[in-house]
């Protein structure tokens, strides 16, 4: 698939170094703002890395066994690695309603719908950005969301645990929430093929795009919203 409603749908094979992906995403966001490129939904994987969002607390880094990178997205510490589907969203909210809360809510709904197609009952949790599930066990996080919106162009996005090594999360307090474990499609006994999850995301993407047109009064200056978003 190369296009969803005029947006480039890109899937990168293998492991994409974090710094290379970040540079490419920022360049694409600048091009979208200038009207020189299409919006982008980019699916990829990273080598093992811990990233610190704008609200990261030093005490949440327990064991820096992997490289640690500070990044401009909202949120706290998270882990990225093989078996985790990363989705970067470079979308123009100037054309879709300048509402960052609506955007984050829509992304959560998108992942919940995709996981439903995988047989996982997922949900939002009041006061906690991200995607959660019980599925017969304790409440656990299966998807993280951390975004930045600059001049109403979105960057960064989401990470869903398909089949990563969950012990790698032990080096941090994931998203600053020590009382909640993380889980994955593999731990829940579901299909662990990235292509299958990608297809579920693609099938649910039109609903995401239609959910973003809910404009409100734009934030002024640099604003953190709902713990996982930064608008400037």
Where in the sequence numbering do the catalytic residues fall? 175
CB-based contacts of 11: which residues, under 8 Å, 6+ apart? 43, 44, 198
Q: Could you tell me if 171 and 52 are in contact, meaning their C-beta atoms sit under 8 angstroms apart?
A: no
CB-based contacts of 190: which residues, under 8 Å, 6+ apart? 118, 119, 120
**Phi and psi angles of residue 32, each rounded to the nearest 5 degrees, phi first:** -65, -45
Sign of the dihedral through C-alpha 43, 47, 52, 57: positive
Retrieve residue 152's tokens. 């109403």
């Amino acid at each position: 698939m190369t296009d969803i409603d005029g947006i480039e749908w890109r899937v990168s094979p293998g492991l994409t170094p974090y710094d290379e992906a970040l540079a490419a995403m920022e360049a694409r966001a600048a091009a979208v703002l200038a009207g020189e490129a299409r919006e982008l939904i980019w699916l990829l994987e990273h080598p093992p890395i811990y990233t610190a969002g704008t609200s990261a607390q030093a005490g949440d880094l327990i064991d820096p066994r992997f490289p640690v990178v500070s990044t401009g997205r909202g949120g706290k510490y998270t882990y990225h690695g093989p078996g985790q589907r990363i989705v970067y969203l470079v979308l123009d909210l100037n054309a879709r309603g300048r509402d960052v809360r609506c955007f984050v809510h829509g992304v959560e709904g998108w992942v919940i719908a995709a996981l439903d197609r995988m047989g996982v009952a997922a949900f939002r949790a009041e006061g906690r950005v991200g995607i959660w599930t019980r599925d017969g066990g304790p409440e656990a996080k299966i998807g993280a969301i951390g975004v930045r919106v600059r001049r109403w162009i979105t960057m960064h996005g989401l990470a869903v645990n398909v089949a990563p090594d969950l012990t790698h999360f032990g080096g941090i307090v994931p998203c600053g929430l020590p009382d909640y474990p993380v889980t994955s499609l593999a731990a829940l006994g579901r299909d662990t093929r990235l292509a299958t999850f990608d297809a579920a995301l693609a099938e649910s993407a039109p609903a995401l795009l239609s959910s973003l047109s809910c404009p409100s009064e734009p934030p002024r200056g640099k604003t953190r919203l709902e713990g996982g978003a930064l608008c400037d």
